[in-house]
Structure formats: C-alpha cells, structure tokens
Structure 1
C-alpha cells in the first residue's frame, strides 16, 4: 500500500502535466487561430498584402467574394495550393518563402474572410448623386449595365449601340435600355485568365458590319492546350455570320494565363493585337520565332503587311511589330499623334506603360523593375542597350488592365491623358504626359469602385469602364 500511493500520485502528477501541456498547446493553437479569425491579423494580413494582393486584389473581402474555388476551399486544399502552387495558372509555390505555420496563418486569414464576408460595398463612389472634381471638371458616374460576370471589353458603334464581352464566353449589346445577347461566337476556353476577351469594330463598321473578338482558343485536337486567337465576322442583327479566326498565336500551351488580347485599329486601317508570353518568360518574349510576348500588326483580314519590321527577317514571325512583352492587357491609339501605347502587367512590381514603336524590344525578362511574386530576383538589370524603357512604371504594381487615351471634347482638361485600370487597388488611374511622352503627374479616380477591367472612350465621346466583383459598367458624365 505504501508503494501504491506514491505511484498513484505520480500518475496523477503525470496526467496533470500532460493535461497542462495539452491544454497549453491547444490554447496556443486556438489563440493563434483566434488571432487570425478575429482582430489581430497582422502577420497574415502582411502575407496576403505581400504575396496575394498583386493578383487577387488589395481587399481580401473582394478575393473571397466568388461562387467557386477552382482548387477547393477547405483548409487542407488551400494549404496545398498556397504551399505548392499551380504552375499552369501562374500561381507560385509560396512554400519556398513561407513556413508551414505561416502558410496556415495565411490560409486561416482567407478562411476567416470567407466566414465573415459581407456584400462588399465597392460602389461607395458610384452613387449617381455624388459629384467628383478633377482638373476643375465636375463629373459623376452613370450606371450603364450590371449583373455582369466580368466585363472584359467595351465598344460602341456610331449609331450608339454598346457592345461588351463577358469572359465566360458571351457578347451583349445595349441600345435604348434594351440588352440583347449576340450569337455566332467561337467556343472559348474559360479557365484561369482565359475566356472571351476584347471586342472592337472595324473602322468602317457602319458599312461592312465587321466585328472582331479576341479569345482563348482551345486546340482542336487537344483541349488541354490553348492560345490567343482573333475571330472576325459580320454582325447581322444579333448574330455574327461568316465568322472565322483570322489570327491564331503559335504555339498553343497548357498554361492558363497571360493571354494579352487587346486590339486597336490605327488611322491606316491596320489591326494591332497584343499577345502575352503565356507565363513562359524564358522561352517566348525574346524569341522572334513564335507569336507569344509580342504585339502584332495585321491587315483587317488577318494577312500580314509587307512593311512589318520583321517581315524579311529569317525565321521570324512576319506579323511581329514589337517584342519583349509580358502580359499587355491594355492597348490604345492616339489618332492625332499617330502613336500607340500599351500597359502591361509586371510581376511583383514593374507594371508598365510603353510607347509602342516598330521593331522595338521592350526587354522582358532581361530588364524589369519587378521581382518574382515570392520575393526573389528576376534580374539585376532595369536598363540595357537596345531595349526600350517604359514611359511610366509602377512599384508596387497596380495590376494594370484596360487602357485608353482621352481625345474627346467632353473632358477638355484630360485631353491627351492616358487612363488605366487597377485590378489591385480598385480605381481608375489617370497619367499626364508632355508632348514628348515624359510623365508629369497622376490622379487616382473613383477609389474602391471595383477591380477595373476595361476602359473605352466610345463613339459618343463618353468614357466607359467596366469593373468586376460585382460586374458593372459605368459612364463618366460631365455635369
């Protein structure tokens, strides 16, 4: 009996120590989780800001406001995606820079936002009664269309019929408050950054009814591969007839990102098309033997002008106008000065506005002002002989998308200014340049309006823009 009591006491003490350790460990875990799920989200919020915001938007509540999580929304599924990445969709493996505990903290921060999400009020600046002042002009926003999945592009005919695309593969028109869906479109690969993208009208649309669409085209014999293609046909009432691809970027790839896709016509009727490097920076943008990471110049039927800069260069693609591009999702033309500009996504930092000139190499990835998403270096170079400099760049990135130059008399104080959208910071960005394209100043307009995807000065002279989450199209109206 004398031996039993000490043994019993020892067991009790051991259990007590074990219980205390378990309770402490569980409390530590719960405290860590609670600190993420409640107020003290400092580290996880920093991880989101540093590693996620450049692609998914500054506000985590916007990122989680979605119907579907492609790779799952459980804690373990999110952990795997964040740690190991998804190369085909351009998602880096953040396990290279974050510990497992830090990855879990980031995942819990996102899960907390899912649990706590409310209807995000992106439209605090979109009330039609609110008047904004810029350069002495009084402006308000007018809602043109809503309930849109993702308004990638907007254009308008001379008779006032507005057209806009949804990345899911649909094209709509609106006139006199009547919205109609257009049929006769190509089948798109709606995955990752792919889908139905830009829409523009032929300069002589009122007579020839030609409409042009850019889209991610699945390879006919292997839908695991895709590329950027340009589709054109005649619009008859609400249907595209005689539609066909007039340009297909080669090669097809398995990645689902960096399609580029913007189109413009110049004064001479040439069609310019931006094509991204599809996430293969070391293979494509500096190689003249394929179409990726380039801006192309075409005739309106897709044939190639014989005076293109690389038309007679052995082994080069004849349609190339400029190269060394990453992912140009903005393209605009100043008809008064006969100048073309693009904006393109950098990596982490290094978004750019470029003056596009024939034969120029814009440097990606040999030179850049950005770094890898995980924080490692891409190159030590920001300049190199024979490579063009941007006329404007952003560090940190604003995730620029959509672009136009103001030429309308409706906005006299903005004439010649370049407008770009910000997917990351949810505003319209206005840049002012002098006559030599030297950057002078900027203005950030309509803060928190939403992820700005498309901008267009339309035929009626008004500036329209489209935002995501929720999908809406607005018109800027002087008052």
Structure 2
C-alpha cells in the first residue's frame, strides 16, 4: 500500500541556504531525484517509502488526492509537507511524472497485437488479419479518401496528391496542378476528403500549409548565411480532378496574412462534412494564449458551409471582433475529427504537451481550455499550470498520460466487424498504436489497444468496403484490417 512517504526532512544539501539548489528552476525528474528518490528509490520502486509503480495508493488514487498528499504531507507517517516549498505548478508536474512512470510499469510486459502478414491478430471483440494496400512508393502519407469508382486518394505531406487504382496500384505520377504548399516542419499537404455528394459535384477538399518563403539575407554571428524563413498557416481549398489535373480550384478558408507564422509545428487539420457544413481544425502553431483570443484564428475548430460561406447561427457571429467561422476554441493541436453515426456528436482527438492527450466532445461555442488548463506539462519537465479544470472550460471525455501522440480517428460503421460496430478508433504516433474506444452516453466505457508497433499511426479510416484502413509514417505504408477467416 502506498503512503506517498517522501523524505521526513529536506535533504542535507537544502539546509544551508548558500548551498541549497534552486528548486524553482528544476525540471521534474531532478525534483524527484532531489526530494523523493532517497525514500522511494531513483527508479520509483520503493525503499524506505513504498513503490510508485504498483498502482496502489493508500490516501486516494486520483490526481487530486496525490496532489494533496504531496502538498500537505503526513508528519505522523514521516511524509514532508511541500506546501510553501514547491509551487502548485511543480507539484502538478510531479503528479504527471508519477503517473507516467506508474503507467509505463503497469503496461510493461503486456503483449499487444502486432500484426504480421499471414497471421491472425486476436482482440477482445474481433480477430483480424492484415492486407497490404501500399507497401512502398509513399513519402509521409497523411490522409486517405475513397472515390465512388473504387479508387483512393492519398495525400503526402511533402505536397503530392496520389491516386491508388481500384485494383490497388499506386500511380507513380502525382496529380498535377495541386495548390502549392509550404513543406515546413509538420506542415505540408495534409488532409484530403471527398465531398459527400462527389458523384454530383466532383469536389475534393485539401488541408494545406499555405504561405510563402522569405529569403534569408545577411549572415549570423558565426558568419553563416541566414536561412530562408517560412510564413505559414493551415488553409482549406477545394477543386476537382480531370484528366489527372487539379482544376476549378476555390479557397474555402484562409487566414489574414498577419497570422502567418514561422513555426514548424501544430498545423492541426481534419475535415468532417455534415448537413451541408464542413468542420475543420486550425492548430495553435506553437502559440499559447492566442488560442483563447477569438480574433486570432489559431487553436480553433471551424464550421462553414461547404462552399466557404459563414453560417449566421455560428456561436460568435454577434461578436463584432470575433472570426465568424469559429465553432470552438481553446485547442492545442487536434488531428482527429469525426461524427458519432448514432447521434451526430462531434469528437476530436488533440495532442497534449507531455501528458494530457485528449479526446473531446465538441460542443458549439465551447472553450477547451488550452493553455489555462491541461493534464500535461512541458516536454522538458517544467510545469505549464497547476490547473486541470476551470469554470467555463470543457473537460476531456478521456485523456492519456503518458502521451500517446494521438492522431487521426474514425468511427467504424461497416458490417465486416460487427463486434466493432460504432466503436471509435484512434491512432497514436509515438506509441505506434490503434486504440478502440467504446462510447456510451458520451463516455468511454471500454478501451483496448488492437494494434501496436507496426509503425507510427498517422490515421485510421473506416473504408466503404467495411474494412479498417491504417496509415503509417515510418514505414510509409497503408494496410487494411480484414476479418480473420
């Protein structure tokens, strides 16, 4: 059982003020080493104090319980109260650190399905085998869309739109004339989606990093020529494909040029069509409080008519300064978006920082809190905030600590896997996973890793043939899951 027994007194090095380290500047791993390791061991396995790795917590197992135990301590048990010594933000970072290590220890040794060609992978609800859709020839594939004639479109982040024929062959020649993208950092050609009435109108939508390059002038302090600088932000465009050419292009959404950024991160991007509207994501581009600003386009989910017009019933149309297309705000970097086929609820998966990846239920006009509230901390182990909730800000449906780098997602609506019907499938880049989530009454009631360690999962797509398609980056491949015979 766990008492969270930290050192009874501060380490000797903290007694003399002139020798004491500056705790305020310590990263979380150094904080643990300085204040906790003498009792709980450097590897958290326990010693004078109990282990942090076994999932047992004597004084409450919620994050709030652990926070309070660190804050207030328990002198009778030898537990030092750190109130007044550590900030709330530092204590919150320690909670995240403990959760990361606990989760890693509890999942160590568990065998998850790692699919191999010709072998059956068994899961709780369904067994499957994999079929290779595209084994080679792609470079950083990002999204997959299906045409009515059996062909597929696949976007590549460097800027190419490719076609997979109905019989499964990747055309070596990209579609010509697609919009120029700024392939910079995590940006490039990202989302591709086919309009629900494609057979009537032929529209194909792309999510791209739009912008320009500023030529570097002069030299730096070392005498090296300054590099060219990118100015980018995510944009949405549509067009048609005729004779392997991109034609009839129309811009659906572009930001004011004053918001274009040199950052190479967090472009967001996914599309959902519903009843004549298009929902799409613009990532926060590495900004922070900008996402709380309704006059700034970053860190928002948008709702427009599918031709780019602004609906008059959007939540902020009466705010004279707000961007009228905004549907929700306070997002970091969502890269998954889909509708629950049962009730039309809109869900998004969002990259957190270190810890705190989120699944969110997207509600009209809601604020999702970044960076005021978060379940994560900075990548380097320094805190962002101690707050995980605040009035007027949405809580995630679920969140993942440690981060799994949650990416594309899709509800399964096919008939080939009846045990998965209406379940939500989410990809994870860092953890190389596909997770199945069962949602009932807008809550996650089951979660299962159905695929692991095949590659970095960029997207999961519910195919019209009833199979589940998975896009990988590293290896750059596309596979599909089919029922085991």
Same fold (TM > 0.5): yes
Q: Which has the higher contact order (CA 8 A, sep 6+)?
A: 1
Q: Pick the aligned partner of 2:332 from 305, 312, 326.
A: 326
Whether 1:345 and 2:351 are equivalent positions in the alignment is: yes
Q: Does 1:174 align with 2:164?
A: yes
Alpha-carbon distance in 2 for matches of 1:137, 1:445: 9
Superposition pairs of residues 236-385 of structure 1, within 5 angstroms: 236-250=242-256, 251-266=259-274, 268-282=275-289, 284-385=290-391
TM-score, normalising length: structure 1 = 0.72
- How much does 1:335 deviate? 3.2
Query: Where in structure 2 are the equivalents of 1:52-451 lying within 5 Å?
Result: 125-147=114-136, 148-175=138-165, 176-180=167-171, 181-219=174-212, 224-250=230-256, 251-266=259-274, 268-282=275-289, 284-434=290-440, 436-451=441-456
Distance 1:182 1:424 in 2: 31
Spell out structure 1 runs of 4+ moving beyond 4 A. Answer: 220-223
Alpha-carbon separation, structure 2, partners of 1:201 and 1:236: 14
Q: TM-score, normalised by structure 2?
A: 0.71
> How far apart are the structure 2 equivalents of 1:461 and 1:207?
23
Cα distance in 2, alignment partners of residues 281 and 443 from structure 1:
32
Contact kept in structure 1, 2:438 and 2:444, CA below 8 Å: yes
Alignment match, 2:15: none
Query: For the residues of structure 1 that align with 2:255 and 2:471, how far apart are their CA atoms?
Result: 26
Cα shift readout 1:214-271 (whole Å, capped 9, x = no counterpart): 01112487862111011111122422101132211341111111100111101x1210
Separation (CA, whole Å) in 1 of partners of 2:163 and 2:408? 19
Q: For each residue in 1:321-340, what CA deviation from the matched residue of structure 2 results, as whole angstroms up to 9, or x when unmatched?
A: 00000000111112331111
8 A Cα contact 1:203 1:269, kept in partner: no
Aligned partners of 1:154 and 1:465 also within 8 Å: no
1:104-135 residue CA offsets vs partner (Å, 9 max, x unmatched): xxxxxxxxxxxxxxxxxxxx934221111223
Which consecutive residues of structure 1, in runs of 5 or more, have no partner in the other structure? 1-45, 47-123
SS of the residue 2:170 aligns to: strand
Q: Is the 8 Å Cα contact of residues 341 and 422 (structure 2) preserved in structure 1?
A: no
Q: Secondary structure at the match of 2:419?
A: helix
**2:472 alignment counterpart:** 467
Q: How far 1:426 sits from its partner (Å)?
A: 0.8
Task: Give me the whole-angstrom Cα distance separating, in 1, the residues matched to 2:199 and 2:117.
Answer: 32
Q: Tell me by how many angstroms 1:136 deviates.
A: 4.0
SS of corresponding position for 1:207: helix
Equivalent pairs, count:
356
Let me know the Cα RMSD of the aligned residues.
1.9
Higher mean alpha-carbon deviation, 356-365 vs 216-225, is at: 216-225
Cα distance, 1:352–1:136 mapped onto 2, change above 3 Å: closer
Q: Structure 1 CA distance, aligned partners of 2:422 and 2:384? A: 34
Deviations 1:152-206 (A, max 9, x none): 1011022221111110111111121332322221111112111110000011111
Q: Is the 8 A contact 1:219 1:227 kept in 2?
A: no
Alpha-carbon distance between aligned partners in 2 of 1:170 and 1:289, rounded to the nearest angstrom: 32
SS at match of 2:233: strand
Query: What does the per-residue CA deviation read over 1:269-325, in whole Å, with 9 as the maximum and x for residues that have no partner?
Result: 21001111100112x110000211000001111111111111111200000000000
Q: Is the 8 A contact 1:151 1:454 kept in 2?
A: no
C-alpha distance 138-224 of structure 1, shift in aligned 2 (>3 A): closer
Structure 2 unaligned blocks of 5 or more = 1-42, 44-112, 216-228
Shift in Å, 1:371: 0.5
Asked which structure has the greater CA Rg, the reply is 1
Q: Distance in 2 between matches of 1:231 and 1:312?
A: 26
